[in-house]
Amino acid sequence: MHTYDELTQRIATACLDYAIERLRMDPVPLDGPLPFAKLADQAGRTITREGREPEDVVREFADVLAPACISTDSPRFVSFIPAAPTKASLLFDLVVGASSVCGTSWLEGAGAIYAENEALQVLADAAGLPPGAGGCFVSGGSIGNLSALAVARDSAAAARGSRPDRWRVAVGEETHSSVASALRLLDVDALVIASDEHDRLTGTALRAALAGDADPSSVCAVVATSGTTNAGIVDDLAGVADVAREAKIWFHVDGAYGAAALLAPSARARFSGIEHADSFVVDPHKWLFAPFDSCALLYREPARAKAVHAQDASYLDAIHEGDEWNPADYAFHLTRRTRGLPFWFSLAVHGTDAYSAAVETTLASARHAARQIEAADHAELVREPELSIVLFRRPGWSEADYASWSERLLRDQIALCLATRWKGEMVARVVFLHPECPDTFIDELLATMI
């Protein structure tokens, strides 16, 4: 099982051949889920006492199990937040898997952590964080937000020397659901700040809410979103940063989806103020062309995170003897895959200019879609896209019409395109994250709505 024997060679051939077959698919089929009973019928019991021929198991995966998974990397997957990993990042993910590097501590993974940290530096520089900023890669925006908000709360307690009965964190109306979950886990309440007429959290509204609050000292942080998930709206980061500084509260920016557009010159100005963040997250597995799962979590002053997250156990003393960088110290995790490496490798191979160009391409797709929607007689643009998410309605359609439209699109393998709710109304939502989405895609989609 552990030596590179003849069986291993057969496994390698079967797995690598399939990986290359999958990477060569052009276009990759959209595919889709099957009901459990159908899958059970087709796949049956896959694990036996005596084991099976590797070629048979890989073929079963390729022919039965994989097609029952939607290809999130298809340009036709335009719901939730899709994925568009580069071939370089996917191939290097195989290398990461084959290498068994542990990314917990410098002692174990120095070389890999050096490379991950360079990739983090690209993002810290794009945001304009000061020298010394740093963090680690975690599995996703949810754990990134949770880890950052734990630091925000505990830093406030340490700085103020006292704790209120209940800590609170100011959030916007469109803040991602993972922040609400994180606050629940941290036993912290949300102070929800009303959005402005452009559906953004603003510094003005935050200042007014704090001024009118009976207990403003219980607010330890504010979360601004740089690219809401439903509509791609960027909050007033500069205004919120000012108020956070005045009120001495932690400024966290959730850029899990949208902060990728920091790399796009045409969108950069929208992020003005992010350079003041005490912490921020961006997911390379969303709009930075990396495979699942990877979220870059960055702190302005990483020592604060270390004070909260470094785990204390005698068997871990060795990793804390020097002052080397241990990614485990900066989030709620210990053992970790070096999940930043596929992103690093792809950045190293393609260069950052290619990333800027790819994000620009997707922004252009969203703008093009908005114009096509405006030109169509049977569709209406809900709001001008700020980033790469486009909301539009089909006047006259009920919720059931949207649902059956989505079902039809998937059945006919045209798209995975689900509706969402915007201000109480059911509307269509398309997320452009794939640089190879053809210009004709939106026309094809609109034609299915007539």
Ligand X SMILES: Cc1ncc(COP(=O)(O)O)c(C=O)c1O
Stretch that binds ligand X, among 70-78, 195-203, 244-252, 254-262 (CB under 6 A): 254-262
140 binds ligand X, rule: CB under 6 A: yes
| Shortest Å distance, C-beta 108 to ligand X | 25
User: Which of the stretches 5-13, 16-24, 87-95, 135-143 binds ligand X when contact is defined by CB under 6 A?
Assistant: 135-143
Among 254, 275, 278, 386, binds ligand X (CB under 6 A): 254
Cβ distance to ligand X smaller for residue 176 or 304: 176
Residues pairing with 296 in the sheet: 137, 282
Residue 77 contacts residue 437 (beta carbons within 8 Å): no
How near is the Cβ of 230 to ligand X at its closest, in Å?
Answer: 9
Question: Which C-beta is closer to ligand X: that of 71 or that of 229?
Answer: 229
Q: Which of 153, 168, 176, 306 binds ligand X (CB under 6 A)?
A: 176
Whichever of 101 and 148 has its CB closer to ligand X, that residue is: 148
256 binds ligand X (CB under 6 A): yes
* Nearest-approach distance from CB 411 to ligand X, in angstroms: 26
Question: Does the protein bind ligand X through residue 326 (CB under 6 A)?
Answer: no
Which of the residues 293 through 312 are near ligand X (CB under 6 A)? 295
Rounded to a whole number of angstroms, the minimum distance from the CB of residue 110 to ligand X is 27
Sole window of 134-142, 181-189, 409-417, 420-428 interacting with ligand X (rule: CB under 6 A): 134-142
In the bound complex, what is the minimum distance in angstroms from residue 426's beta carbon to ligand X?
20
Stretch that binds ligand X, among 105-113, 139-147, 237-245, 429-437 (CB under 6 A): 139-147
* Closer CB to ligand X, 104 or 225, in the complex: 225
- Give first-to-last CA distance, the chain, whole Å: 58
Closest distance of CB 190 from ligand X, Å: 15
Which 193-252 residues touch ligand X, going by CB under 6 A? 225, 229
How many residues touch ligand X under the rule CB under 6 A: the total is 14
Residues from 63 through 122 that contact ligand X (CB under 6 A): 81
Minimum CB distance to ligand X, residue 195 (Å):
15
Q: Residues 352 to 381: which contact ligand X by CB under 6 A?
A: none
Cα(153)–Cα(366) distance, integer angstroms:
37
Q: Which is nearer to ligand X, 291 or 379 (CB)?
A: 291
What does the H/E/C string look like for 180-203? HHHHHHHCCEEEEECCCCCCCCCH
| Minimum distance of ligand X from residue 404's CB (angstroms) | 26
Question: Rounded to whole angstroms, how far apart are CA atoms 227 and 283?
Answer: 12
- Cβ–Cβ < 8 Å for 426, 419: yes
Is residue 257 a contact point for ligand X (CB under 6 A)? yes
By the rule CB under 6 A, 142 interacts with ligand X:
yes
- Looking at residues 275 to 294 of the shown chain, list those that interact with ligand X (rule: CB under 6 A): 283
420 binds ligand X (CB under 6 A): no
Q: Which of 85, 103, 141, 291 binds ligand X (CB under 6 A)?
A: 141
| Nearer to ligand X (CB atom), residue 234 or residue 373 | 234
155/229 with CB nearer ligand X? 229
Q: Does 383 bind ligand X (CB under 6 A)?
A: no
C-alpha–C-alpha distance, residues 206 and 220, integer Å: 13
At what angle are helices 141-160 and 302-309 packed, to 10 degrees? 90
With respect to ligand X, which residue has the nearer C-beta, 60 or 174?
174
Q: Which residue has the tokens 């530096």?
A: 121
Tell me the CA distances in angstroms from 247 to 190, 372, 384, 412, 422, one per residue in order. Answer: 17, 45, 33, 54, 32
Contacts of residue 150, Cβ cutoff 8 Å, sequence gap at least 6: 186, 308, 309, 332
Binding site for ligand X (CB under 6 A): 81, 140-142, 145, 176, 178, 225, 229, 254, 256-257, 283, 295
